[in-house]
Structure formats: C-alpha cells, structure tokens
Amino acid sequence: MSTAAPEPKANMGQPIPRYDAVAKVTGRAEYAADVPLANPAYAYLVTSAIAKGRVDSFDLDEARRVRGVIDIITHENMVKLKDAKLFSNGGYMSTTVQPLKSADIAHDGQIIAVVLAESFEAARDAAHRVKVSYSTMPPTASFDSQGTTAAGAKGQLAQFKEDPEVGDFAKGFDSAEVKVSAEYETPTQHHNPMELFATSCAWNGDQLTIYEPSQYVYGLKNGVAEQLGVDADKVRVINAYVGGAFGSKGSVTPRTAIIASLARRLNRPVKLVATRDQGFTIATYRAETRHQVKLGAGRDGKLLALRHDGHEISSRPDPYAVGGTKTTTRLYACPNVASMVSIVRADRNTPGFMRSPPEVPYLFALESAMDELAIELNMDPIELRRINDTTTEPIKGKPYTSRSLMACFDEAAKAFDWSKRNPTPRSMSDGDWLIGYGCATTCYPTQMAPAAARVRLQRDGRVRVQIAGHEIGNGAYTVIAQAAAERLGVPIENVSVMIGDSDLPPAPVAGGSNSTASTCSAVMKVCDQVRQRLLKAVMPEEGVINRAKETVGVGRTPVTDAAHGDQALDREKAFDALGVGVVEEYGEWKPEGAPLDSFHAMYAGHARLIGGPEFGDKIAYAFGAEFVEVRINRNTREIRVPRLVGAFACGHIMNPRTARSQLMGGLIWGMSSALLEATEIDPRNARYVNDNLADYLVPVNADVPSVEVILLSEQDDQVNPAGVKGLGELGNVGTNAAVCNAIFHATGQRIRKLPVRLEKLEI
C-alpha cells in the first residue's frame, strides 16, 4: 500500500500535512478529559442491569463507606432538569429519556446513580458497591421479540419527510421480464470511538464551562442550557480535539446536564469519564434494520420498477429512523418507484446517527439487490449500473448538480483489474483460497449548513481564523487553514486556526459530511470581506474594487487566467493606507436555498442542513465505486479481504491527503461492518452482551493489507462557493454490498444478513 500523499489533480488543493499532526503524534493535543481542573470531584456512573422496570431501592451503605466518597446521587436526591426535545425532532437531545428523574427504567444501561468522590478510583470502588433492587418487567429486545409496535416513519419524525414514489410500481413490476425480490438485514452497531464519553463541568459564578468531545458545540451549549434552565450565553463548550465520534457525539446525551448540575451543587468542578461498556447505553448507536427490495427490469437491464421498504428499531419514547429510501429511490433511472420506512419500537436506548446513517444500511440492500439482478440478467454488474445511470433523479426529475458515478466505476475497475474477473461464481481460486471480486456503488448526499467565521489579518501577513468547527479526525483544522491561506494569498504557515469552542462564531454539527463545505464556504466569504476592506483603502473606485474582488489575492499575483492583467494588492501599503494594525471581519454564510430562519437557528444550536435530494430544484450527491477482493479458505472458511479499491468524485478536494485518509477509513470501516461488527443483544433481557472492544470486533492492521483510494477530478460550481462535496461518509456506504457481492462471486452463496461470519458460509 502506498503511503505517500496523492498528487493533486485538477480542482484539488495541496496535500499539505495535517495542521494538528505533530500535536497528535507527540501527545500534546489536549482532549476533553486531559484538561486539568482545579480540585475536581470525580463522577462514576452506575447503570441499570435491567432494560425495563423500576428501581425499588438502593442499598448505599457499603458504597458510602468507601474512603473519599462525597455523595451518591440517585433519582431520590437529584435536582430536576427540564425536559428537552429529540435532536431529530427539532431539539438537541440524543434521547428524551431523562435518567435520574424517576425510578423508572426504559432501557439497559440507563444511568441510575452517580457516585461522586475525591478520586476516580474511590468513585469506581464505591460504584461497584452500590446495591440495587429492581422490579423487572419483561422487555422487548428487537424485531422478533414480543411487544414491538410498528408504524410508518412519516408523520412521527420531523426529519423524515417523505416516502418517495413515482409512477406505478405494481404495474411496472408485473410487466418486468426479470425480477429480484429479496430481504436484507443489518445488525446493531456501536460507534466505539477511541475517546470515551467524557464530560468535565466547571462553574465560575453563573458561567458554566463544559469540556466534552462534541461534534456540535453550539448544540451542546444550547441543549444543556435548556435542560438546566440557564442562559445559553453563559455556557461554554470547549473541545479542541475529538478522539473519534462517528455520529455518537453529535447530539446532547443526558450525562452532560447531570454532571453540570452536580458541579453546581458541589460548587466544584466534576469530571466524568464513562467506561467503554457504559458508552454502549448512555449514547446512541446504529439500530438494526430490515429491508425488502423488489427490482424489475427488462432483458436489456433497464430498471422498470423499484420498491424499497425499510424497518428500523427505535426506543419506546423516541421515533428515530435514518430512512435511507430518499437516496435509494433516486440513485438509478426508474419510472416506477415505491418505498416505505417503518419504525419498530422496543425497550432499547434511542438510536442515532452513525457514520453514513441512512446510506449504509439502505445501500447495502439496494446494491446487493442490483448485484442479484445482474446475475439474473447474466450481465456485468458495472454495465447494469451504466445502463441505469442518470443525470436526473427519477422521483421529481431534478438534475444532479454533478454525477461522475460511471467515471468512478471505470477508474476503479481499471485499478482493480476487474477485467481479469471470470464472472462465473466459484470460478477463481488460489490454492486453498476461493477468490471473489465484487463491486458496488457508493454515494452520499452533499449537504451544507449556515456557518459564521471571524478572520483577522495582520500587516505582516499572519492570519487567525476563528470558527466553532470540530476536529473529529476529519482534517477540519487543516482545510480551514488552507481555505484562508488560499483566499488571502498567504503561506499556510501564516494561518492559525481556532475551532472547538462555542465562544467562537457558530459552525454546524460536524455530521452529514457538511463540515468542510460549510466551514470553508464561510471562511472564504469572510476572507473576501477582509480583502474588500483592504482593497477599498487603496482602490477606492467601485469598478476596480469589484473587478479586484473577483481576481486579486492579497500579497501575491492573481491565480486565475482571467486575472493575469491585474495587479496584486500590496498588503502593507493597504494597511498603511487604512492606518490599522489588523483587519478583522466577522461574517455569516448560508447555502443557497437555506430557510429564512437559518441564521437564527444557527446561533440557537440547530443546524439547518440543505442538500442531497432537498436542494431546491437540483439534487446534490457525491459518488464513488468500491471494489473488493475476498478470499475464503476452503478448509477453515476464514474470510479475508486482501484488497479494497475505491474511486470517488467529490467536487473540489480541499486536501488530497486528508480526503484520502477519510475515504480509506471509510473503506476499512465498510469492510469491518460487513464482516465483523455487530452488537449482540440478549433477547431474554434486551441487554447488549459484547459491550467492549475485545468482543465487539473491529479490524486490526493485519485485516487490511491493501486499500487504494482514487480521487477523481470533478468540478461542481452549483453546490457551494467552495465547490466541495463532503466525503467523510462516502467511503463506507457501498462496501457492505461490495463485500457480499464478492462473497457471492467466490462461493455462489448470497448472504443477505450482516455481518458475514464464517458459520454462515456453506461452501
């Protein structure tokens, strides 16, 4: 595997090393739990051992006797917090279950007590000595358990707006010559970021500072303020780095307001680092899903009918669903489409977004079904995609702003040596190993949200950019620095970036792959404001200013061909003309078509994401093609993946190095999701069994000997000023299906239920 950063192609930025690389590899990067606090008390959570019922009583005597214990908080002595709405229903919260509010227990691992002590060790020791008596009711664990209730997602979940349909599916399916009808299942999965769910809260008078890894500091600040009933302007969230999140740190979990209220009560800082297994139940997860897909096509491979019905598990109180039919119904040209998403309630914690929330389970189903259709048609699966490729989505006939799907297939197929594939299943082998090649489409909606930024330029060319973005491993520091350096025409070393602090100008949630597009568009806009002020000082004529605004960088010659005749701005002269030391500008940016209340919502911690299928009269997606080689040992049935190849087209690539890293991680996770990852639920008690990293398997280096990421050059001027189509979630969407398609090719066996474990193979 090549480790060099890729060479930039047309419409790509430079592959500069990560802004935060040295800090991270030397351990200097300060994560939330690393921040030193003055005389903190340590919190340790006690969580329920049952999924449904109530706490009858606590026996706290032995726990209280542990030296160093300060207090033990249960529903009996907890201050009342205000109820807050679910993130996906217009609020902030990951769940509407409010622990410690009453004796009731709504799910496994619910917080039922908090031990406060002078040390982490004392708090943990005491927590282990808390004895709880429960009244247990039989819980509903999942789809096949007794007591589930199901209903359509539409109408009960604000974020789920439509069950897309067009034409007459039944008629189209009936008339189709070739049909596929199949059911698919994906398991419960947990994000398991390396960094645990930590929260430190410190009050200074009526000012609260929260140190917590978050993908949305403005959401966290406003959500906690709402729960505590305090002014949001008096709450500050700080997290310079987030040690992985993948969606789990996007919404506000109940722990934060609990810790904040205990810090207020104790009048000293309180620090919590929840354990790995607690992380499975005090935050969100990817719920298990079931799908029925029906495809009807002519002998020529053209789709005539497509139906996709999805069922998703959610908790009793909260109607969460990812609802990926908005994508799967629009991916290919098809005149007759129907779909329906249903939510099935069980006694579980509320699920939430997890990297590529809707597309991962829903494209697994569709892209597996497409492979099955290709088999039925005796057609190359790439050709089937080509025949059904489209420049307009079929539901409303809106044009894609750009779509390089087939170019991605062609590039990836070439790199993968797809032409060497014998299409007959079970036809390729190497010694004891059966070999299978598989591929699938990947796509992800291009989304943006309003953002604001403050940019300061000094006379000496140094720049400071402030924006409450989030470094979740996505390269936020780096691409924001690049956007400012390019726009202001200064060396990248001149730019310092401050993010991860809710006292900075607001940025949206680092989710839905909107971060780079939103933050860079805002930063670029504010950089332009800086340039205009300087230009006005030295070029007072309006016409010149407008021309210069388009073409002239600060302190270097213009970059575009059209601008060759223009003069570069002399920065020092402009500063002297203005008679100031620094030029600082604050500005807000919102995407085209953003709702009127976007800026207001932005400050209140509500991200109004625009894009994907809901982008005015257009539709915006990033695309890719993913190829997998699997090897299955005839003797032992071990499944290995020696090669992953993906080609992706995502508009302007800010930084090929960080982009490649994101996509590589996505490919690896996709393989992991297909073969390894599943949270096992004990159906008798609705509890997670393998709630640790020894039993919840993720790949190790030996599992991924070769991953190749190909970045295609693509230009899209319609999506946003940065021309960026987010790619953070693109990498792991198609991989599940590509792995199963490769397994079919290797063995002739179609696996429709993830993960694929060796006992499922019947070779």
Partner 1 sequence: MRSFSYQRASDPQAALQALAVTAAATTPLTEASSQPLAGGTTLIDLMKLDVMRPERLVDINPLAGNWAQVDLDGGNLKLGALAHMSQVAGHAEVRQNYPVIADSLKLAASPQLRNMATLGGNVLQRTRCSYFRDVSYAECNKRNPGSGCAAMDGFNRMHAVLGTSHQCIATYPGDFAQALIALDAAIEITSKSGPRSMSFAEFHRAPGDTPAIETVLAPGELISGFAIDGRWPRSVYLKVRDRQSYEFALASAAVALDLQNGVINDARLALGGVATVPWRAREAEAVLKGQKLDDALAERAADAAFADARGRQHNAFKIALGKRVVAHALKKAIAMEI
Least Å from the CB of residue 561 to partner 1: 51
Q: How far is the CB of 695 from partner 1 (least distance, A)?
A: 6
Beta bridge partners of 633: 433
The nearest distance, CB 630 to partner 1, in angstroms, is: 13
- The nearer residue to partner 1, 534 or 740, going by C-beta atoms, is 740
Query: Interface with partner 1 by CB under 8 A: which residues?
Result: 47, 49, 66-67, 121-122, 124-125, 128-129, 277, 635-638, 640, 675-676, 680-682, 684, 689-692, 694-695, 697, 699-703, 757-759
- Answer for the pair 262, 73: CB distance below 8 angstroms, yes or no: yes
Shortest Å, Cβ 187 to partner 1: 12
Backbone angles phi, psi at 682, to 5 degrees: -75, 115
Nearer to partner 1, 49 or 492 (CB): 49
Q: What is the DSSP letter of 92?
A: S
Task: Locate 306 and state its tokens.
Answer: 């497509």
Burial of 663 (0-12, 13-18, 19+ CB in 10 A): buried
- In the complex, the smallest distance separating the C-beta of residue 740 from partner 1, rounded to whole angstroms, is 16
Catalytic annotation on 729?
yes
38 or 702: whose CB is closer to partner 1?
A: 702
How far apart are CB 734 and partner 1 at their closest, in Å?
21
Q: DSSP for 412-456, please give it.
A: HHHHHTGGG---STT-EEETTEEEEEEEEEEEEE-EE--EEEEEE
Give the DSSP letter string of 490-516. --GGGEEEE-SBTTSPB---S-TT-HH
Residue type, 508: P
Long-range pairs for 611-615 at CB < 8 Å and ≥24 separation? 611/445, 611/446, 611/447, 611/448, 611/514, 611/719, 612/326, 612/327, 612/445, 612/446, 612/447, 613/164, 613/326, 613/327, 613/330, 613/393, 613/395, 613/398, 613/445, 614/161, 615/401, 615/446
Q: What is the DSSP letter of 329?
A: T
> To the nearest whole angstrom, how small is the minimum distance from the Cβ of residue 311 to partner 1?
22
Cα gap 177→164, rounded to integer Å: 24
Compute φ and ψ for 377, nearest 5 degrees: -85, -10
- Count how many Cα atoms sit within 13 Å of the Cα of residue 256 in the half-sphere of its side chain: 34
- Which lies closer to partner 1 via its Cβ, residue 151 or residue 689? 689
91: left (phi > 0), else alpha (psi -120 to 50), else beta? Answer: beta
Report the 10 Å Cβ neighbour count for 735: 33
Return the structure tokens found at 235.
């709450």
How many Cα atoms occupy the beta-carbon half-sphere of 247 within 13 Å?
Answer: 22
Torsion sign, CA atoms 744, 750, 753, 756: negative
Nearer to partner 1, 267 or 636 (CB): 636
DSSP H or E segment with residue 733: none
For residue 686, give the nearest of 358, 355, 280, 103 by alpha carbon: 280
Measured from the CB atom, is 298 or 699 closer to partner 1?
A: 699
User: Which residues have CB under 8 Å from 21's CB, separation 6+?
Assistant: none
Helix (H) or strand (E) holding 350: none
Nearest CA among 374, 438, 373 for reference residue 182: 373
Cβ at position 116, least distance to partner 1 in Å: 17
In angstroms, what CA-CA distances link 53 with 81, 104, 107, 133, 393? 22, 6, 9, 11, 48
Q: Which is nearer to partner 1, 474 or 735 (CB)?
A: 735
Token pair for 229? 């009933």
- Comparison of 429 and 692: residue with beta carbon closer to partner 1: 692
Nearer to partner 1, 596 or 700 (CB): 700
Contacts of 662 (CB under 8 A, 6+ apart): 474, 475, 727, 728, 731
Report the distance separating Cα 393 and Cα 664, nearest Å: 28
- Active-site residue (options: 177, 729, 759, 762): 729
Q: How far is the CB of 48 from partner 1 (least distance, A)?
A: 8
Kindly tell me which of 81 and 282 has the beta carbon lying closer to partner 1. 282
Compare residues 535 and 667 and give the one whose CB is closer to partner 1.
667
Amino acid at 619: I
Closer Cβ to partner 1, 161 or 276, answer by number: 276
Task: For residue 410, give the H/E element and its range.
Answer: helix 405-416
Distance set, CA 151 to CA 148, 157, 312, 362 (Å): 10, 11, 10, 18
Residue of 468, 475, 532, 451 whose CA lies nearest to 504:
468
Query: Least CB distance from residue 108 to partner 1, whole Å?
Result: 9
Q: Which residues face 128 on adjacent strands?
A: none
Least Å distance, CB 287 to partner 1, is 18
DSSP-derived pairing of the beta strands 618-633 and 639-649: antiparallel
What are the start-end ranges of the H helices in 678-728?
none
**CA–CA distance from 142 to each of 148, 346, 685, 734 (Å)?**
7, 6, 11, 26
Instruction: Tell the smallest beta-carbon distance from residue 264 to partner 1 (Å).
Output: 29
Nearer to partner 1, 316 or 640 (CB): 640
Catalytic residues: 729
